[in-house]
Amino acid sequence: MLSYEKKHKMREKIGKKRITKSILLETGKISPEEFVLAGDNLIFKSPTWRWATCSKSKQNDWLPSDKQFLITEHVPCLKRAHELTSGLDKDFIFEDEGGDSWISPENLDEIPKKKEEEEEKEKEKEEKKEEEEEKETSSDEEVVEGFDISDDEIESANEEDENAIVSDEEVDIVKSRTYNITITYDKYYQTPRVWLQGYREDGQQLTTKEMSEDISPDHFESTVTFVPHPHLEVKTASIHPCKHAHVMKRMIDEMGTRNKVLESKNYLLLFLKFIFAAIPTINFDFAQGFEL
């Protein structure tokens, strides 16, 4: 029985014909050449991304050998998906023909804003906590003000401070889950495809259950699969590309209502905006300055 990886490779090779002229605006699909152009522009706009290659046996001949896929590594994931998606207005959501939920194109720019608002609230909480701790410290200093402390006691205390082991909590280091995110070109669906590889705070790979906590519940059951990466020797979570062209076409049409036209080089900037709706807690760089 053929593995998923072999089946998909076979389908890509004998499936749909290679795009020879741009059909981006009509279909939401792109050619391998447009994928490379869009990848170069993504790296220019967001330098945390880079091109990567793989062993020759896993390379696709429709892409340059040194540009087989895009990757960004060690991306922080501070919260779980339900903490963000539960606060979204239902007007932000639309359902595609298959019943899957996506963020409405006109509201995609609101998601980073909501995320920033959440982060601002967290920051305010931390600042308030620090202020309260400072007040308590000041209060303690006032209580001991009347005590006489000898020079020997001060010197002894300083020596203890120098030899003390500082814990992560004391230096306020925030540990979080991290993700490596890769983008490949799927020749069968003629769109990019996103792959996620997650790690715990201690560096161990996340389980399927743990990764499900970082993916929007609306997408986890219907559009996310756990399969081998086509270029790497790892099992990853992948956002299935069967609906990508449809969603991209909808966003392209939305831009058209405002007399805006999507250039091929900006395809991935727009694509990652809607992918962000599926993985809102993973803080990857997707050029937020790009407007719909």
Of residues 154, 157, 242, 261, which has the active-site annotation? 242
Considering the chain, what is the average pLDDT of its residues?
A: 78
Q: What is the pLDDT of residues 231-246, one digit of tens each?
A: 998 989 999 999 899 9
3-state DSSP assignment of residue 67: coil
How sure is the predictor about 221, in pLDDT bands with cuts at 50, 70 and 90?
confident
How sure is the predictor about 281, in pLDDT bands with cuts at 50, 70 and 90?
confident
What pLDDT is attached to residue 83? 78
Q: What is the pLDDT of residues 136-190, one digit of tens each?
A: 665 555 544 444 555 555 455 555 555 545 454 444 455 789 999 999 999 999 9
Q: Maximum CA pair distance of the chain?
A: 87
- 224-228: list long-range contacts, CB under 8 Å, 24+ apart: 224/278, 227/4, 227/5, 228/3, 228/4, 228/5
Q: Identify the sign of the CA torsion 184, 187, 192, 195.
A: negative
Beta strand ranges found along 99-176 (DSSP E): 101-103
What pLDDT is attached to residue 163? 53
Name the pTM for this structure.
Answer: 0.72
Rounded CA separation 106/94 (Å): 11
What pLDDT is attached to residue 76? 93
Looking at residues 99-108, what average pLDDT do you find?
50
Q: What percent of the chain has pLDDT over 70?
A: 61
How sure is the predictor about 54, in pLDDT bands with cuts at 50, 70 and 90?
very high
Q: What is the pLDDT of residues 23-48, one digit of tens each?
A: 999 999 999 999 999 999 999 999 99
**How far apart, in Å, are the Cα atoms of 36 and each of 33, 44, 192, 232, 267?**
5, 12, 11, 19, 10
54 is catalytic: no
Distance of CA 161 to the CA centre of its chain: 41
